[in-house]
Amino acid sequence: MAQYRRAGAAVAVIRLHNAPVNALSSAVVQALAQGVKKADLDPSVKAVVICGANGKFSAGADIRTFSSLQPRDRPALAETVSLIERSQKPVVAAIEGVALGGGLEVALGCHYRIAHAQARVGFPEVLLGILPAAEGTQRLPRLIGIPAALDLITTGRHVLAAEALKLGIIDEIVKENTVERAIELASKVSGQPLGPRKISLKPVPDLPDMEAILSEALVKVKRKARGRLSPEMCIQAIKAAVQLPFAEGVEKERELFRFLLGSGQAKAQQYAFFAERAVEKWTMPSGTSWKTASAQPIRKAAVIGLGTMGRGIVTSLVKAKMLVVALEQDQKQLDIGREAVTSLLQWEASKMQQSGQSQDICDPARLQFTLDFGALRDVDLVIEAVFEDMALKKEIFRKLSTICKPEAFLCTNTSALDIDEIAAVTSHPHQVIGTHFFSPAHVMKLLEVIRGHHTSPTTIATAMSLAKTLNKVGVLVGNCFGFVGNRMMAPYVEQAIFLLEEGCKPEEVDQAVEGFGFHMGPFRMLDLAGLDVGWRSRKGQGLTGPKLAPGTPARQRESRRYSPLPDFLCEQGRYGQKAGKGWYLYEKPGGRTANPDPWLYNFLSEYRETHGIKARFVDQEEILERCLYALINEGFQILADRIASAPEDIDVIYIYGYGWPTHRGGPMFHASTVGLPHVLSRLQKYSEAHPDIPKLQPSPFLKKLVALGSPPLREWVSHVRQPSSKL
Ligand code: TC6
């Protein structure tokens, strides 16, 4: 848990030991405290070094234990950090790998800090719904000043050693032998006065406009937090560091920590942390899993199509240091694509430079632009990113099947289309897989990985490993229209549009959803994505356009309620932001400021009049419940259909792909929090009021879980009916 050894005659080394990341469990903290006390009591020890096993200092407090922490408890970690600082002998932190959260707090209790050049430090607690409660909010501002402390503590970002040195968090960077160098330093400084090295004794560096800095920071985090409490509490704790003596600031920090721990948001955010890690451990309905399948190395990849998605994918691959071939169909498109990719890479390089990372990561020399399919002969993996057009995709996959080497993996970037239909035109359907990137693909963290009927475990393992290489979160899902993300989005958007028919304005629906914590409500999102995307899909499905049977009622399709509102908008050229108008009016085509549009109000009134709909007032609760519970209901059906293998898969997809607020833990976690009987009863109520909307009829699986007494979320999948077939 923490090994104590002597290095030379006078230095004691305490090595934190708790694989894989040296999390500070209570046993580790206890052993660390014992080590410090032992060193203090031993007159032959003149200085101490604290380091971590396996090249990592520590990733902080053991997050798994927070659920059992009593809010009244004083964190034992805080006691130990104070103990380290009070030591009569100099204590040096030797930071390798990471010193995060409580790990950094331990380091701040030390009198000196040395870090390896590749080490990262930070206070990511805010992302877990808490704050650095082992006196971190009181020590960091004293060490690096208020503006920098505000930035680090409220964003949770990790900083590399070079930036940490610049900020004053660490005293020295070494390229190798961090622990040995720390031992040397410890020997050198033994006997020197420790007072100036104790951060708790330092004043917070004063600034003339301190009040203004704190108030501006508060306004900024409140705007960004969308209901998340922890950033605001972090500011309050930092404010206490400015206004109160150290001991009283610590009391305030503790009080805020207790509040956050009991708020429910911390539980949701910590669930999301572990969900993100759980989705890496994928399983197929057949039982095959990540444990037995191994990924193949990908050195060279190709991207077909340099539209918005293709450009982002190319940028991601280049950033991940892969050799990339980018292919387009004609010279003009290729030139436009090349220019766009080059500027994205330049932008990425400048961002990396700012954060002290080496910029050769974005080396454009690794990138080849071509019109020639022959250039794909030796690639290990292809990502097709052309339009959502089945015929076009099939034509490309037929070609790939003859040109690429037999062991190449063939991925299709699609948000809804049938992977099996695409795979069927190739001679290696087991190497075909869906990779649904989210726009902009070089920024968005989610990769929905879609297994087809024939997709092999090796192909899945390779696609999941690709996600990790691209610094994305890969989630494996089954093949159905819209997969998980867009399949659940459909009933949500459908409800939003029905609410307009019934009397709402787009901004009322958006405000309700944004008030819940979404970055964007459904109408702003649709305008951003382009209304023509859905229009094309609906025309393809024969819901509107030339394929629609003559005489079909305007607001009904196969006895289900249908709203032609978005089709009408598209017929008027109102495609959303890119056209300067959609559900909102924008300052110009491509403009970003969504303004309520009087034209739309008129249009909606006339529409209601034409169809004999009496507008009614719909309150926020109904807006939210109809949109969100319709989405959640589909989630239960997706679990029952084994398209997602666990609720965590759905939640991670929604957090990383659709802007679901992390402090609500994802749609399925949210359902478990508000209670399944509640979700069921509201769906029952709305489906009785709207019997022509099948997506409001509660999923049989939700009903089953309620009948079983609403078991905890982690048990849900054990109640899914076993499949009759082997896959
Ligand atoms: C804190 O310190 C508060 C203090 C004040 C209050 C007293 N605890 O991410 P990976 C597990 S709050 C428990 O896949 P990587 C993780 O679940 C803490 N477990 O690896 C996974 O387990 P699995 C503030 C933890 O190399 C395994 O370790 N600190 C913890 O991609 C490997 O993790 C943070 O928020 C933990 N603290 O990334 C840091 N950390 O194998 C959180 C990790 O069973 N951690 N695990 O699935 C990270 O950001 C990353 O894990 C990493 C390593 C950058 C350290």
User: In the structure encoding, which two tokens stand for residue 705, read together?
Assistant: 């879980």
> How much distance in Å is there from the Cα of 574 to the middle of ligand 1?
46
Does residue 284 lie within any of the structural domains? no
Considering the domain architecture, whether residues 581 and 632 belong to the same structural domain is answered as: no
Does residue 279 lie within any of the structural domains? no
Q: Comparing C-alpha atoms, which of 458, 461, 463 is closest to residue 448?
A: 463
> How much distance in Å is there from the Cα of 434 to the middle of ligand 1?
30
> d(Cα 658, Cα 651) in Å, to the nearest integer?
10
Q: Comparing C-alpha atoms, which of 675, 669, 620, 621 is closest to residue 649?
A: 669
Among protein residues, the one whose CA lies closest to atom 39 of ligand 1: 59
| Domain containing residue 694: CATH number | 1.10.1040.10
* Closest atom of ligand 1 to CA, residue 127: 35
The rounded radius of gyration (Å) of the Cα atoms in the chain is: 28
Contacts of 250 (CB under 8 A, 6+ apart): 78, 135, 138
> d(Cα 649, Cα 312) in Å, to the nearest integer?
24
How large is the average pLDDT for residues 237-251?
97
Question: Each residue of 145-164: b (16+ CB within 10 Å) or e?
Answer: bbebbbebbbbbbbbbbbbb
pLDDT tens string 405-432: 999 999 999 988 999 999 999 999 999 9
> How much distance in Å is there from the Cα of 63 to the middle of ligand 1?
7
pLDDT tens string 162-216: 999 999 999 999 999 999 999 999 999 999 999 999 999 999 999 999 999 999 9
> d(Cα 502, Cα 614) in Å, to the nearest integer?
7
Considering the domain architecture, whether residues 47 and 85 belong to the same structural domain is answered as: yes
Give pLDDT, residue 75: 77
Pocket of ligand 1 (CB under 6 A): 20-21, 23, 59-64, 75, 77, 98, 100-102, 124-125, 128, 132-134, 274, 277
pLDDT band with cut points at 50, 70 and 90 for residue 70:
low
> d(Cα 471, Cα 316) in Å, to the nearest integer?
9
Does residue 485 lie within any of the structural domains? no
| Active-site annotation holds for 172 | no
Q: Looking at the predicted structure, is the pLDDT value of residue 645 above 60?
A: yes
Q: Which mutation among 16, 18, 21 tests ligand 1's pocket best, with the greatest number of atoms within 8 A of CB?
A: 21
Q: How many CB atoms lie within 10 A of CB 45?
A: 18
Give pLDDT, residue 9: 83
Q: CA separation (Å) from 66 to 63, 73, 153?
A: 6, 11, 19
Give pLDDT, residue 104: 98
Residue identified by tokens 């077909």 is 304
Cis peptide before 20, with omega less than 30 degrees from 0? yes
Contacts of 720 (CB under 8 A, 6+ apart): 639, 640, 642, 701
Q: Are 461 and 294 in contact (CB under 8 A)?
A: yes
pLDDT band with cut points at 50, 70 and 90 for residue 107:
very high
Q: Looking at the predicted structure, is the pLDDT value of residue 725 above 50?
A: no
Q: Are 57 and 99 in contact (CB under 8 A)?
A: yes
pLDDT tens string 268-323: 999 999 999 999 999 998 889 999 999 999 999 999 999 999 999 999 999 999 99
Apex 384 CA angle, 658 and 527, nearest 5: 35
> How much distance in Å is there from the Cα of 59 to the middle of ligand 1?
5
Considering the domain architecture, whether residues 640 and 567 belong to the same structural domain is answered as: no
Among protein residues, the one whose CA lies closest to atom 31 of ligand 1: 277
> d(Cα 639, Cα 679) in Å, to the nearest integer?
16
Cis peptide before 711, with omega less than 30 degrees from 0? no
Helix (H) or strand (E) holding 705: helix 700-707
* Closest atom of ligand 1 to CA, residue 62: 8
| Active-site annotation holds for 125 | yes
Considering the domain architecture, whether residues 593 and 635 belong to the same structural domain is answered as: no
Q: Comparing C-alpha atoms, which of 702, 708, 502, 713 is closest to residue 618?
A: 502
Does residue 290 lie within any of the structural domains? no
* Closest atom of ligand 1 to CA, residue 134: 5
Domain-terminating residue out of 610, 645, 679: 610
Confirm whether the ipTM is greater than 0.85.
yes
Considering the domain architecture, whether residues 257 and 316 belong to the same structural domain is answered as: no
DSSP track, 130-160 = S--TTTHHHHHHHHH-HHHHHHHHHH---EE
Q: Looking at the predicted structure, is the pLDDT value of residue 672 above 60?
A: yes
Q: Looking at the predicted structure, is the pLDDT value of residue 87 above 50?
A: yes
Q: CA separation (Å) from 167 to 33, 122, 141, 231, 641?
A: 28, 12, 11, 21, 52
> d(Cα 192, Cα 197) in Å, to the nearest integer?
10
Q: CA separation (Å) from 46 to 49, 83, 190, 319?
A: 11, 16, 6, 47
pLDDT tens string 595-629: 999 999 999 999 999 999 999 999 999 999 999 99
> How much distance in Å is there from the Cα of 18 to the middle of ligand 1?
11
> How much distance in Å is there from the Cα of 119 to the middle of ligand 1?
15
Q: Comparing C-alpha atoms, which of 420, 372, 381 is closest to residue 404?
A: 381
Considering the domain architecture, whether residues 109 and 253 belong to the same structural domain is answered as: yes
Does residue 407 lie within any of the structural domains? yes
Does residue 295 lie within any of the structural domains? no
Q: CA separation (Å) from 5 to 8, 11, 82, 303?
A: 10, 9, 22, 54
* Closest atom of ligand 1 to CA, residue 69: 7
Write the single-letter amino acid at 58. S
Q: Comparing C-alpha atoms, which of 99, 80, 69 is closest to residue 36?
A: 80
* Total number of domains constituting the chain: 4
Give the strand order in the sheet containing 172-174: 2-7, 11-16, 47-52, 91-95, 112-116, 172-174
Among protein residues, the one whose CA lies closest to atom 49 of ligand 1: 59
Considering the domain architecture, whether residues 547 and 589 belong to the same structural domain is answered as: yes
> How much distance in Å is there from the Cα of 274 to the middle of ligand 1?
9
Among protein residues, the one whose CA lies closest to atom 6 of ligand 1: 133
What's the start-to-end Cα distance of the chain, in Å?
Answer: 43
DSSP structural state of residue 228: -
* Closest atom of ligand 1 to CA, residue 64: 13
- What SS3 string covers 345-411? HHHHHHHHHHCCCCHHHHCHHHEEEECCHHHHCCCCEEEECCCCCHHHHHHHHHHHHHHCCCCCEEE
SS3 of residue 340 by DSSP:
helix
DSSP structural state of residue 643: S
Q: Comparing C-alpha atoms, which of 675, 505, 672 is closest to residue 602?
A: 505
Q: Looking at the predicted structure, is the pLDDT value of residue 727 above 60?
A: no
Give pLDDT, residue 362: 66
Domain-terminating residue out of 477, 495, 521: 477
Considering the domain architecture, whether residues 600 and 667 belong to the same structural domain is answered as: no
How large is the average pLDDT for residues 573-580?
96
Q: For all residues of the chain together, what is the average pLDDT?
A: 95
Q: Looking at the predicted structure, is the pLDDT value of residue 73 above 70?
A: no
Among protein residues, the one whose CA lies closest to atom 17 of ligand 1: 274
pLDDT band with cut points at 50, 70 and 90 for residue 702:
very high
pLDDT tens string 253-283: 999 999 999 889 999 999 999 999 999 999 9
User: Which is the catalytic residue, given 85, 105, 163, 448?
Assistant: 105
Q: Extract the runs of DSSP E, i.e. beta strands, from 464-562.
A: 473-477, 556-557, 560-561
Give pLDDT, residue 396: 97
Q: CA separation (Å) from 75 to 122, 126, 245, 247?
A: 19, 17, 20, 15
| Domain containing residue 409: CATH number | 3.40.50.720
Q: Are 670 and 628 in contact (CB under 8 A)?
A: yes
pLDDT tens string 443-469: 999 999 999 999 999 999 999 999 999
pLDDT tens string 475-484: 999 999 999 9
Give pLDDT, residue 352: 80
DSSP structural state of residue 327: E
* Closest atom of ligand 1 to CA, residue 60: 2
| Domain containing residue 250: CATH number | 3.90.226.10
Q: Looking at the predicted structure, is the pLDDT value of residue 351 above 70?
A: yes
Give pLDDT, residue 353: 77
* Closest atom of ligand 1 to CA, residue 103: 2
Q: Comparing C-alpha atoms, which of 127, 124, 24, 12 is closest to residue 69?
A: 24
Q: How many CB atoms lie within 10 A of CB 549?
A: 7
- What SS3 string covers 111-123? CEEEEECCCEEEC
Give pLDDT, residue 726: 45
Among protein residues, the one whose CA lies closest to atom 26 of ligand 1: 21
Give pLDDT, residue 68: 74
Among protein residues, the one whose CA lies closest to atom 52 of ligand 1: 59
Considering the domain architecture, whether residues 22 and 169 belong to the same structural domain is answered as: yes
Considering the domain architecture, whether residues 251 and 327 belong to the same structural domain is answered as: no
User: In the structure encoding, which two tokens stand for residue 555, read together?
Assistant: 């607001």
Does residue 183 lie within any of the structural domains? yes
Does residue 615 lie within any of the structural domains? no
Residue identified by tokens 């909606």 is 604
Considering the domain architecture, whether residues 183 and 226 belong to the same structural domain is answered as: yes
Q: Which mutation among 16, 30, 56, 63 tests ligand 1's pocket best, with the greatest number of atoms within 8 A of CB?
A: 63
> d(Cα 580, Cα 584) in Å, to the nearest integer?
8
Domain-terminating residue out of 241, 263, 285: 263
Domain that includes residue 541, residue range: 504-610
User: Which is the catalytic residue, given 85, 96, 125, 253?
Assistant: 125
Q: Looking at the predicted structure, is the pLDDT value of residue 146 above 60?
A: yes
Helix (H) or strand (E) holding 326: strand 323-327
pLDDT tens string 31-59: 999 999 999 999 999 999 999 999 999 99
Among protein residues, the one whose CA lies closest to atom 22 of ligand 1: 277
Beta bridge partners of 114: 94, 172
Considering the domain architecture, whether residues 336 and 363 belong to the same structural domain is answered as: yes
> How much distance in Å is there from the Cα of 116 to the middle of ligand 1?
20
> How much distance in Å is there from the Cα of 21 to the middle of ligand 1?
7
